[in-house]
Amino acid sequence: MKLSICTDVMGDLSFTDMLDKCVALVVEGIEMTGGGWSPAPHFRADELLADKGC
């Protein structure tokens, strides 16, 4: 069995702290919501879409 998590449950953590916590919990899959409804700061579709370097 593999453990995965939706990052909304760690919305109070920065991206780096959230990843560190996932590593400590031995989480193997991370879902970062990108529909624009999530208050979690981990995925910002508007910033990625505006980045011409991607």
Residue 35: what pLDDT?
67
Looking at residue 27, its pLDDT comes to 93
Q: What pLDDT does residue 41 have? A: 74
Q: Write the pLDDT tens digit of every residue in 9-36.
A: 888 998 899 999 999 999 999 988 776 6
What does the domain layout of the chain look like in residue ranges? 4-50
Neighbours of 2 (CB within 10 A): 7
45 has pLDDT over 80: no
Q: What is the pLDDT of residue 54?
A: 60
